[in-house]
Amino acid sequence: MRWTLGELARLVEGELEGDPGVPIRGLASLERAGDGDLSFVTARRHVRAAERSQASAFLVPPDVAIPGRPVIRVAQPYGAVAALLRVFHPEPILAPGVHPTACISSMARVALDATVLAFAVVGDASVVESRAVLHPHVVVGDRCRVGEASILHAHVVLREDVVVGRRVVIHAGAVLGADGFGYVFDGSHHRKIPQVGRVVIEDDVEIGANVTIDRATFGETVVGHGTKIDNLVQIGHNTVVGTDTVIVAQTGIAGSCRIGSRVVLGGQVGLADHVTIGDGAQVGSQAGVHGEVAPGAAVWGSPAIPLPIARRVAVAMPRLPELLHTVRRLEKRVADLERRLGMWRGEAR
């Protein structure tokens, strides 16, 4: 697939500076780009690297020029990259239909234009809607719904009563609807609390590889529309995550949390049971949160504290051993002064 720079400029509604006839065959980073590649500069500080790059042209923000090289000016170069990547690498089109090895319950309903690949399993009373794709070895339990145009990659497991909205992408190995972790200790053993609730994934959610999202005890565990979840994240039973929230890899969210919308949880964050995170809040990586984070707040550290304080603590921390030493010396000096002035009050600790 070959395009000209002029055609690409029109596609991204950018302002072309240079020869519209330059042939472009792909996108690449500044370092890897060669002749025929379009590359991109997202900030002024990358102009030097761009000048050294072998790329044939560049997507640049409005205020950047690369002397003597063709550029397409756009408000958001990385947004334009995202759009053009799909031009150069269109989603593979999978033929609709059910692979002969797939095992579909006679009580399930699979849309005629859905794609069900090898060894996929669909349980009783489940629905796979139009243009949905079940990759090889996907297991959809009983009474599930996989919404329009959603893609479940290889080995995804939906246990019973899991509802997946439209245009959802679930990466390989993710498990939705396993039992929540709930027990009553009877004095000698932990007795299981049956977990009979559901999992609801709203539209346009993306869920990473080997993620686990547990079903509710009763009621629902919910991930709101547009939320993006990275690999190996754990979401406990009864937790409700809002819309357009971002959860980075290996973060663990315990049970019955309320996470707002447009929240960002960094990598390896831990949220205790019943935590509330307000809309737009940001939690730094490896933070440990108990209690509540206010809307729009930023916190960091374990346990988490407001980000500006956490940053100053992080800077101060390496000086703690020296500080202990300094204070010990200060105590002696003050004791000396006190002795001098006849104020001595006994052994300083």
Q: Which of 185, 177, 191 is nearest to 142 (CA)?
A: 177
Residues annotated catalytic, as ranges: 237
> Per CB under 8 A, which of residues 267..326 are in contact with its own copies?
267-268, 270, 272, 285-286, 288, 301-303, 305, 309-310, 312-321, 323-324, 326
Judged by CB under 8 A, the residue of 22, 47, 111, 209 near its own copies is 209
Radius of gyration of the chain, Cα coordinates, nearest whole angstrom = 28
> Per CB under 8 A, which of residues 225..244 are in contact with its own copies?
226, 228, 230-232, 234, 236, 244
Q: Which of 168, 274, 280, 210 is nearest to 265 (CA)?
A: 280
Q: Which of 276, 338, 339, 287 is nearest to 309 (CA)?
A: 287
Judged by CB under 8 A, the residue of 43, 49, 82, 107 near its own copies is 82
CB of 112 to its own copies, least distance (A): 22
Please tell me whether residue 11 binds its own copies under the rule CB under 8 A.
Answer: no
- Please count the other Cβ atoms lying within 10 Å of the Cβ belonging to residue 188: 6
Q: Are 171 and 151 in contact (CB under 8 A)?
A: no
Please tell me whether residue 341 binds its own copies under the rule CB under 8 A.
Answer: yes
Please tell me whether residue 131 binds its own copies under the rule CB under 8 A.
Answer: no
Q: Which stretch binds its own copies (CB under 8 A): 11-19, 51-59, 62-70, 71-79?
A: 71-79
Please say which residue, 73 or 215, places its beta carbon nearer to its own copies. 215
Judged by CB under 8 A, the residue of 108, 163, 168, 254 near its own copies is 254
Judged by CB under 8 A, the residue of 47, 88, 97, 294 near its own copies is 88
Please say which residue, 165 or 236, places its beta carbon nearer to its own copies. 236
As to burial, measured by CB atoms within 10 angstroms (0-12 exposed, 13-18 middle, 19+ buried), residue 151 is buried
Please say which residue, 20 or 43, places its beta carbon nearer to its own copies. 43
Report H helices in the chain: 5-11, 47-52, 77-88, 307-316, 320-340
- Strand-pair partners of 161: none
DSSP 259: E
| Rounded CA separation 348/331 (Å) | 7
Q: Which of 180, 140, 186, 134 is nearest to 161 (CA)?
A: 140
Please tell me whether residue 215 binds its own copies under the rule CB under 8 A.
Answer: no
Judged by CB under 8 A, the residue of 94, 103, 111, 294 near its own copies is 103
> Per CB under 8 A, which of residues 164..203 are in contact with its own copies?
169, 171-173, 175, 178-179, 181, 183-184, 186, 188-194, 196
- Tell me the number of residues near its own copies by CB under 8 A: 113
Q: Record the tokens describing residue 164, joined without a space.
A: 């997946």
Judged by CB under 8 A, the residue of 71, 72, 114, 121 near its own copies is 121
